[in-house]
Amino acid sequence: MEFGKWWVEDKEQKVRCKLCPHHCLISPGKSGICNVRKNNDGQLYSLVYGHPAALNVDPIEKKPLYHFYPGSRALSIGTVGCNLTCKFCQNWQLARGEFRKQRQAMSPEEIVKLARKKSCDSIAFTYNEPTIFGEYLLDISKIAHQQDIKTIMVTNGFITEEAVNDIYPNIDAANVDIKFFTDELYREYTGGRLQAILDAILAMQKHGTFIEITNLIIPELNDSPKEFKKFINWIKENLGEETPLHLSAFHPAYKMKDHPSTSKSQLDTLYEIAKEQGLKYIYEGNVRSDEHNNTYCPACGNLLIERSYFSVTKNNIKVGHCECGKGINVVDQH
Ligand code: SF4
């Protein structure tokens, strides 16, 4: 158990957590909605600091990040717990906080040492919602940066501006999963709130974090062209038309085991809408899609990055440019 950041004292030894917009008021001996931030004698502690539950080396494409150091390796780390309660969660065993899944304790220094040993270019905070282990990832990130290792958040974006301002100056790239573009669906299916997430993304961007967006497409819920067009326009107007977008297929899971999967043709329809609306880099995930897994130059149409599943098989980008001269929104060491 580690003393927490982002909280204030309240009456009768209660504490108010300020890490995510739930702002949980937590009584002594109890935990917040995420299940991993506990009031111990009137003070807030993190139950997951130093306790990874999942730790693997992944291609960065698996996060998914397609425009940030393509072809590199990310040491990926997650704990248990989550601040949203998505009915369609694909990772619910971790998210719902089964503490027996925790591995041996590892300090931030040991995590960074492992990343170096495994020749990883970055450390990705992923699997469950990393915001809820903010203290741990912040300490890891500061040490990683001292050793020239990049840091990545794979996040639902449900975080307060105060916490963004503390954490994101230390984060190089983020994939933010915007799940719906109506507040009603957000509240009903995740317990989150749309506007808080959109505000947080803009706050992340102010700190120079490179952003890619994921949208899990769930048939009959968020596949309406009308809602989708609004979503695309928000991306264009706020993050820019060159923001990479990953359309991800839903497969039945957790409390939505009887809901139909997303078909390839449903993803293709939305892909075409996003393209017509002017987005330049759109990808399909969670489904076999060779043609929509590569990166093409938006100016001349040249193949820039060829991928096979999560492997980069060709990278024709030269110092951030296509051979036609168009600048490509890719962060790379090459
Ligand atoms: S991080 Fe956890 S404890 Fe804090 S406000 Fe969010 S859900 Fe509640």
Per residue in 299-328, pLDDT tens?
999 999 999 989 999 999 999 999 999 999
Ligand 1 centroid to Cα of residue 48, in Å, is: 13
Closest CA to 52 of 116, 124, 121, 120: 124
Cβ pair 52, 44 in contact under 8 A: no
The answer to whether 310 touches 62, Cβ cutoff 8 Å, is yes
The token duo for 150 is 């990049």
| Ligand 1 centroid – CA 74 distance (Å) | 27
The three-class DSSP label of residue 285 is strand
DSSP-derived letter for residue 83 is: S
If residue 208 lies in a helix (H) or strand (E), which one and from where to where?
none
Mode of pairing for the β-strands spanning 122-125 and 150-155? parallel
What is the residue with the minimal CA distance to atom 4 of ligand 1?
17
Which residues is 150 bridged to in the sheet?
A: 122
What residue spans define the domains of the chain? 2-46, 54-293
Residue 248 three-state SS: strand
CATH number for domain 54-293, candidates 3.30.470.20, 3.40.50.970, 3.20.20.70, 3.40.50.2300: 3.20.20.70
Task: Spell out which residues line ligand 1, taking CB within 6 angstroms.
Answer: 17, 19-20, 22-24, 32-34, 37, 83, 132
Q: What is the pLDDT of residue 291?
A: 83
β-bridge pairing 43-46 and 54-59? unpaired
CA 20 to centroid of ligand 1, rounded, Å:
5
Quick one: which atom of ligand 1 is closest to the CA of 131? 1
Closest CA to 96 of 113, 109, 111, 84: 84
The pick from 15, 26, 132 for probing ligand 1's pocket by mutation, whose C-beta has the most ligand atoms within 8 angstroms, reads: 132
Which ligand 1 atom sits nearest the alpha carbon of residue 44? 3
Q: What is the predicted pLDDT for the residue at 167?
A: 98
User: How do the pLDDT tens digits run along the chain, 334 residues long?
Assistant: 889 999 999 999 999 999 999 999 999 999 999 999 999 999 999 999 999 999 999 999 999 999 999 999 999 999 999 999 999 998 888 888 766 666 679 999 999 999 999 999 999 999 999 999 999 999 999 999 999 999 999 999 999 999 999 999 999 999 999 999 999 999 999 999 999 999 999 999 999 999 999 999 999 999 999 999 999 999 999 999 999 999 999 999 899 999 999 999 999 999 999 999 999 999 999 888 778 999 999 999 999 999 998 999 999 999 999 999 999 999 986 4
pLDDT for the residue numbered 237: 97
Q: Where are the beta strands (DSSP E) in 79-235?
A: 122-125, 150-155, 173-177, 210-217
Instruction: Supply the pLDDT for residue 68.
Output: 98
190 Cα: distance to centroid of ligand 1 (angstroms): 14
The pLDDT, as a whole number, for residue 101 is 61
Question: Residue 43: beta bridge partners?
Answer: 40
